Chains A and B, each alone.
Chain A
Amino acid sequence: MEEPLTETTPPILQDDEKKRKKYDRQLRLWAASGQQALEEAHVLLINSGPGVVGVETLKNLVLPGIGQFTILDSAEVTEADLGVNFFLEPDDVGKFRAERTCALLEELNPDVQGHYNTEPVEYFLTQSSDTHSLRPFTHILVTAPIVPELLADILTHCRATSKPLFYIHCVGFYSVFSVQLPSAFPIVDTHPDPTATTDLRLLTPWPALSALVEEKTRDLDSMNAHEHGHVPYVLIILHFLEVWKQTHDGQVPSNYREKSDFKELVRKGMRINNPEGGEENFEEAIAAVLKSLNPSTPSSAVKEVFDAEECKNLTHDSPHFWVIAHAVSDFYKAHNALPLPGSIPDMKAQSADYIQLQNVYKTKAREDVAEVTLTVRELAKQHGHLAQVDEKEIEAFCKNAAHIKLVRGRPINPAFPGQKLKWGQRAKAAVSALTNPDSLILIHIAFLAFDEFCASHDADALASAPRAPGSQDSEVEFDAEKMTGIANTIIDNLINEAGTRIEEPDYSDIGARVANYVQDIVRAGGGELHNIAALTGGMVAQEVIKVVTKQYVPVDNTCVFDGVGSRTEVLRLGADVSV
């Protein structure tokens, strides 16, 4: 009736054992499956500017054991790099930065393979007719500034190949990064807060559970003190629900008032003529009433998955996620409930009773998985789906069905000088952020202006590299004025696109605030502060890990960091998807 409980430790290879020890602290977060995904990834960093934030990001990926990384950077190491980049040595001045940072990063972890390429981005990308020089890589990091046409090429390739891309700005005390995810990026293993995941189905007990309630609470009144004090609270609630239903036309308590009355009913069942003046299991039952007597309706995130075109219209090559989602959606339609997760919280109980109760839940969960599996197999046959969906995958989906999440990746819009940026469906939300004094959207807009500025100013007559605003002491004020102008145009275009107006004094206030951010960014002259680069490199690395492992929930899709107020904000921006 149940799986054997003895667990034998399989003979572990020496190598695995070493890895398990080295990565112990992270395996507790993303398990062996996440680690394997990391080890299969090959991240490309297209580096530019002072280039610290990208290298710091890689550091945080090399340490946990990303499979491979490649640095594309044609810059030579300058004296100025040594003051801000930790992965360079004093003697490296004049050498290729890609080569040196690659070597010093590789030292961090012998499990990781590092590569570098010192070609300029434009040569690297145009080696062949299409952009297939990006093909070997699974995830792409691009740091600003970069020529917008090149960025557009890279973005298009990533979009077409469903390759996640991270576009990162880091200047002075500020940073922004945007994540371009595939148009459908589903996550099963979202790691929800364990206290939020309990699903006990107390309002809809199935026969095996009802039978257990009957068996274990039949003699409630005649039980001795020890037995009475150890009836698991789940069974206590279910028992008293039956009592309640007898006097309430078979209905369960449905509103706050009824639930309060129900709590009283349970409380009356508690024995208080003991030294403690009460019973812990009954207290647990009373405390659980409000939160566990709710019908389990799927969250909007789950409904979004069920309603997705990819879920409704399966094809022969639908990803496994959608086939299972379709089957679970069928299950939901048939039972008006998601598959049971099958876990129960710890509660005051005798060992054997608890295990028995746990097994009732586990058995039901297994039955639900079996039903979904059957549907998956039928669907596969029906649609000529070739790949065999693994039972483990179905089980994981069912267990976390209430917490699955679909991120709809939106394309990043590069800022071309003199062209209107398209905000699309996000224009209205962006405008309302403009007038919110707590929002950091103006930092994002300042960085869009930064991109336009760089794209229209060359560092030298060769037009080989963009010039960042504020890189010359004598130009600081002039550059700030110019960049503020660009930022204001972006704001005006945004307000126009949203088809709205912002009245005074709000409008002037926005102008003043964005001018401050612009000024503070120009002050840095395109330079990075090590702390901000390290912090941003930490944030981007977290995001890369979440996207690579398909665990936890990534940023959707733009994250702003303000190193003055030490705050972040996540904005949902990006272009509309043209179908």
Chain B
Amino acid sequence: MDMDGASVNGSPAGMDRKRWTYLDRILNRPGPFTDEEWVPGEPNIESLERMKILGAGGLGCEILKNLALSGFKDIHVIDMDTIDVSNLNRQFLFRQADVGRPKAEVAAQFVEKRVRGVKITPFCGKIQDKDEDYYMQFGMVICGLDSIEARRWINATLVGMVDNDDADTLKPLIDGGTEGFKGQARVILPTMTSCIECQLDMHAPRAAVPLCTLATIPRQPQHCIEWAHIIAWEEERKGNDTLDTDDPEHITWLYQKALARANEFNIPGVTYSMTQGVVKNIIPAIASTNAIVAAACCNEAFKIVTSTNPPLGFPGTNNYMMYTGDDSVYTYTFEHSKKDDCPVCGNLAKNLEVDPNTTLEDFIASLAEKPEAQLKKPTLRTEEKSLYYQSPPSLEEQTRPNLKKKLSELVSDGEQIAVSDPAFQITFKFKLVFKK
């Protein structure tokens, strides 16, 4: 069905375009910033209608609406989630009665019905379920994903697909994200400009609370909740139940455990809502910020496809817009530079300063938190030897004794290591530089 291009362009160009009166003024009239060689009219309409574009993630509702009303005709959408009641405050294509249904399907149906002539193809699943052949069919990808892992995955996939001898293999990636009143939109031309991995340190993970604090000296309500989450559940319920953070009974149990512990230590402030927030790592989200960021992304997509005005993202120009709305309105639009030592799009190993006396085990734990790494289940090796393997079990067992060794016993100062992680399809190269 995807290949059935003819049915997409159901309306032959030049047919009644009354509906697109406003859009056509922009497509048909040159502006002061359009290129001298830009051809107004027909070619732009054709580009929009021909472009097969993919949208994904929590900004999906906004993205589908915006693309459909920008004149795109062949839109695909990927989303693995089903509709939850807490989505209804912003994901405007869903109603109370839709709760529990797959987001991609409901959203696609809604927009197809509302905007005549647009074809929206849903896929209910993870972006990781699809391979390069799937992604190769699109001209462009717009993501509003809520996890950094998924962003890194799609980024690495699109970078890996680029064949320098074939311009069609370069798929612009437009990425948007929000948190509360803040957000960002960025345009990536894989291998040509700064990619998501180059910009990883802009999204530093929250520092984890040391286990010993949770276990013995809690001070904050969050410490008590994390204790219930990480320690109490493991000890008391793990055997029977896998923790499901969407199960109210499970959250209530954690809440009561946390509350009891907080009372024991005289710590005020544990609430059900806070328990939910900590355990599910809830990020505040509102309709207006989603609207801003998704529209900023789709505006760039529209400009890239139609050349009606210069877009963000060309090498040597701005490619990143940061939006902050909690104190007046402030945007910072800038060029994030490509990094030569980017593990995805660069070719040099990234320097990582380490204490030679650190054990391999502690070093591995630190990789999860280091803003420039953020690897949770890393397997490590040097050119000559295996340092630690997460799997298979036989290799894990074989390399386990290394965990207690100091880095200085395993590698030399400045030695390069290769790190792989099941969440990513590429290998990260780090050069370990010993702290003096």
- Interface residues of chain A, those whose CB is within 8 Å of chain B, are 3, 5-7, 9, 18, 20-29, 50, 56, 59-60, 63-65, 79-80, 82-84, 86, 89-90, 107-110, 172-173, 190-191, 230, 346-347, 349-352, 354-355, 470, 473, 476, 515-516, 519-520, 523-525, 527-532, 534-535, 537-539, 541-543, 545, 552-556, 559, 563-568, 570
The residues in B between 15 and 46 inclusive whose CB is less than 8 angstroms from any CB of A are 18-23, 25-26, 29-33
Cβ-neighbour of B330 out of A107, A530, A568 (below 8 A): A568
**Could you tell me if A25 and B286 are in contact, using CB atoms closer than 8 angstroms?**
yes
Residues 310-354 of B at the A interface (beta carbon under 8 Å)? 310, 312, 318, 321, 323, 325-331, 333
For A544, the closest partner residue in chain B by CB is: B288
Q: Is the CB of B325 within 8 A of A542?
A: yes
Q: Verify A64–B89 contact, CB threshold 8 A.
A: yes
Contact (Cβ within 8 A) A83 B69:
yes
Task: Say whether, besides A24-B86, A542-B325, A566-B321, A534 and B217 are in contact (CB < 8 Å).
Answer: no
Asked whether, in the complex, the Cβ of B33 is within 8 Å of the Cβ of A520, the reply is yes
Known: A566-B185, A566-B300, A568-B329. A527 touches B22 (CB 8 A): yes
User: Contact string, B265-309, partner A, CB cutoff 8 A, digits 1/0?
Assistant: 111101111001100001111111111111110111011000001
Inter-chain contacts of A191 with B (CB < 8 A): 326
Closest to B221 in A: A7
Report B336 CB to chain A, min CB distance, Å: 14
C-alpha gap A63/B267 in the complex (Å)? 36
Cα distance, A551 to B331, chains bound together (Å): 20
A63 touches B86 (CB 8 A): no
Given A553-B326, A564-B33: A83 touches B114 (CB 8 Å cut-off): no
Chain A residues with CB below 8 A from B331, complex form: 566-568
Contact across chains for B282 and A83 when beta carbons are under 8 A apart: no
Q: Which residues on A sit within 8 Å (CB–CB) of B333?
A: 565-567
A351-B219, A541-B291 given; A80·B22 CB < 8 A: yes
Chain A contacts of B220 at CB under 8 A? 346
Whether B287 contacts A63 by the Cβ 8 Å rule is yes
Q: Hey, which chain A residues are within 8 Å of B289, CB to CB?
A: 538, 542
Is B262 at the interface (CB under 8 A from chain A)?
Answer: yes
Q: Is B299 a contact of A538 with CB atoms below 8 Å?
A: no
| Pair B298/A553 contact, Cβ less than 8 Å | no
Contact check, B284 vs A28: say whether CB atoms are below 8 A apart.
Answer: yes
Q: Are A28 and B329 in contact (CB under 8 A)?
A: no
The answer to whether A534 and B266 touch across the interface, beta carbons within 8 angstroms, is no
By a CB distance below 8 angstroms, the chain B residues around A552 are: 181, 325-327
CA–CA, A344 to B276, complex, Å?
A: 24
Q: Are A28 and B282 interface neighbours, CB within 8 A? A: yes
Question: Are the CB atoms of A534 and B294 closer together than 8 Å?
Answer: yes
Q: Report the Cα distance A535→B220, complex, angstroms.
A: 39
CB within 8 Å for A516 and B292 given contacts A22-B86, A190-B327, A568-B331: no
In the complex, A283 Cα to B46 Cα: how many Å?
63
Contact of A24 among B18, B267, B282, B327 (CB under 8 A): B282
**In the assembly, what is the distance between CA of A515 and CA of B33, in Å?**
12
Contact partner, A25, options B86, B114, B115, B296, Cβ 8 Å = B86
- Residues of B contacting A90 in the complex (Cβ-Cβ under 8 angstroms): 116
- Residues on the A chain within 8 Å of B270, using CB: 7
| Cβ-defined contact, A538 with B295, below 8 A | yes
CA A349 – CA B33 in complex, angstroms?
A: 60
Neighbouring A residues of B318 by C-beta, 8 Å: 565-566
Residues of B within 8 A of A (CB): 18-23, 25-26, 29-33, 62, 65-66, 69-70, 85-86, 88-90, 92, 95-96, 114-116, 180-181, 185, 217-220, 259, 262-263, 265-268, 270-273, 276-277, 282-296, 298-300, 302-303, 309-310, 312, 318, 321, 323, 325-331, 333
Question: Hey, which chain A residues are within 8 Å of B330, CB to CB?
Answer: 568, 570
> CA A535 – CA B321 in complex, angstroms?
13
Report chain B residues within 8 Å CB of A523.
25-26, 29-31
Residues on B with C-beta less than 8 A from A18 are 85
Report yes or no: B309 in contact with A56, Cβ–Cβ below 8 A: no
Beta-carbon contact of B286 and A553 below 8 Å: no
Cβ-closest chain B residue relative to A568: B331
Known: A7-B270, A535-B292, A567-B331. A22 touches B217 (CB 8 A): no
Which one of A50, A60, A346, A352 contacts B291 once the chains associate, using CB atoms below 8 Å?
A60
9 A-B pairs with the lowest CB-CB distances in the bound complex, closest first: A527-B22, A538-B291, A535-B295, A538-B292, A530-B69, A80-B21, A541-B288, A534-B295, A516-B32
Is A532's CB under 8 angstroms from B114's CB? Answer: no
Residues of B within 8 A of A9 (CB): 272
Closest A residue, CB atoms, query B17: A83
Q: Which of B86, B271, B300, B329 contacts A7 (CB 8 A)?
A: B271
With a CB–CB cut-off of 8 A, which chain B residues contact A5? 262-263, 266-268
- Knowing that A7-B259, A476-B29, A524-B25 are A-B contacts, what are 4 other residue pairs whose CB atoms are under 8 Å apart, sorted by A's residue number? A22-B89, A79-B19, A83-B20, A556-B328
In the complex, chain A residues whose CB is within 8 Å of the CB of B181: 29, 542, 552
Contact indicator A566/B312 (Cβ below 8 Å): yes
11 contacts between A and B (CB under 8 A): A65-B89, A79-B21, A86-B65, A520-B309, A525-B25, A527-B22, A529-B23, A534-B298, A538-B287, A554-B328, A564-B310
Quote the shortest CB–CB distance from A491 to chain B (angstroms): 17
Would you call A349 and B219 a contact (CB within 8 A)?
Answer: yes
Question: Max chain A CB contacts within 10 Å: which of B21, B180, B271, B282?
Answer: B21
* Bound CA span A564–B311, Å: 7
Cα separation A505 to B20 with both chains bound (whole Å) = 41
Closest to B332 in A: A567
Question: In whole Å, how far is B30's beta carbon from the nearest beta carbon of chain A?
Answer: 8
Nearest CB of A to B143, in Å:
17
Complex Cα spacing A69 to B282, Å: 30
Which single residue of chain B is at the shortest CB-CB distance from A12?
A: B272
CA distance A29 to B270 in the complex (A): 18
A84 touches B295 (CB 8 A): no
Closest B residue to A532 by CB, please name it.
B299
Distance, CA A23 to CA B284, complexed state (A) = 10
Contact A531 B325 (CB under 8 A): no
Question: In the complex, A476→B331 CA distance in Å?
Answer: 32
